[in-house]
Amino acid sequence: MDLNHRYNNLADSRFVLSAALTTAVIAISFAAIFIRLSSAPSIIIAFYRLFFSLFILVPHLLVRWRDIRLLKTSDLIGMAGSGFFLAGHFYLWISSLQYAPVAVSVVLVSVHPLLVAVAGYLFLGDAIPTRFFTSMALVLAGTAAIAAESLTGFAEGSTELRGALMALGGAGMMSGYLLVGRRLRQKLSTTIYATGTYGVAALLLFVTASFAGISITGYPPLEYLFFVALAIIPTLLGHTVFNWALKRVRASLVSLLYLGEPVGATILAFIVLQELPTYLQAAGALIILIGLYLVIKSGQSSS
C-alpha cells in the first residue's frame, strides 16, 4: 500500500509539473500581444508589468516574514543581480517590438537556451542529456523557419535591424536572469525570490524612467488594463511558474521551454493583430511543438 501511495504521489507530481510548465508556455505567449496593443513607452510598460505583479505577490510575502529574516547578504545580492538582468530583458525586448514584427522579435529573444546551456554546464555543473540536443535541434530549426522570411528585410531597414539587436540583447539578459535564478531558487521560496527580483527590477526601471524624464503616471485607463493583464498572465502565470520550476528542473530546460513563446505569439498575432504567418512559419511552429514535447518528457524523467 505504501508503494502504491508513493507511486501515485510521483505520478501526481509529474502531472502537476507538466501542467504548470504547459500553462506557463501559453501564458508568456500573450506578452507580445499586450505590448503591441499598448501605446505607452517601453520602459513604462516594463515598469508597470512588474509593479502590478508585486501588488499581487507582496501579501503572500507578508505571510513568510520569518523566512525574510533569515535572508543572507549573498541572497540579497543575488536577487539584486537577478532583478538587474530581468529589468534589462524586459526593457530591451519590449523596445524591440516597436521596430520588429512580433514573430521576429519573439524568435530572436528566444535564442537564450544556447547561452544558458553552455554557461550552465561551465559554471553551474549542469549535465546536458542527449535528448536535450535533439530537442534543441528541433526547436532551433523551427525557430529559424519562423524567422527566415522576416530576416531578409533587416539589411534594408535600419529600424528592423535595431529591433533585432534589441531582441538579441534581451536574450542575453534573459540568460543571466535564468542562471542567477537557478542558484537562488535552490534555497529561496518562489514568493521570496520572485518578489525580491521583481522589486529590484521595478525600482531600476522607475529610477531610469525618472532620470530620462518619462512620465510615470497619467496614461489612459486602457493602458493600465494592459499593464495589469501583463502582470497576471505572462508574468505571474508565466515567469513566476518558471521560477517555481527552477528548483525542480535544470535552468537549460526551463530556458528551452521559453521557446514555446514564438509559437503561441505567432498564433495570437494572427488572431489579434492580423499578422498572418506563412507556410514556412507554420511548419516551424509544428517543429517547435515537437521539440517542446521531447523537452517536457525529459523534464518528467529527471524530476
Number of domains in the chain: 1
Confidence at 301, pLDDT banded by 50, 70, 90: low
Residues 6+ apart with CB under 8 A from 240: 53, 57, 190, 194
**Alpha-carbon separation of residue 8 from 5, 11, 299 (angstroms):** 5, 5, 18
Sign of CA dihedral 37, 90, 200, 74: positive
- Tens of pLDDT along 56-71? 888 877 776 777 777 8
Sign of CA dihedral 63, 64, 66, 69: negative
pLDDT higher for 137 or 65?
137
Confidence at 105, pLDDT banded by 50, 70, 90: confident
On whether residue 191 sits in a domain, the answer given is yes
**Alpha-carbon separation of residue 12 from 21, 296, 303 (angstroms):** 14, 15, 12
On whether residue 32 sits in a domain, the answer given is no
Confidence at 10, pLDDT banded by 50, 70, 90: very low
Query: What confidence score (pLDDT) does residue 224 get?
Result: 96
Mean pLDDT of the chain: 81
Helices (DSSP H) in 41-157: which residue ranges?
A: 42-63, 65-69, 73-96, 102-109, 112-119, 130-151
Whether this model's pTM surpasses 0.85: no
- Can you read off the three cell numbers belonging to residue 182? 537557478
At residue 85, the 3 state secondary structure works out as: helix
Residues 6+ apart with CB under 8 A from 257: 21, 24, 25, 242, 292, 295, 296
On whether residue 295 sits in a domain, the answer given is yes
- Identify the DSSP state of 278: P
Length of the chain: 303
On whether residue 287 sits in a domain, the answer given is yes
The residue segments making up the domain with residue 146 are 41-302
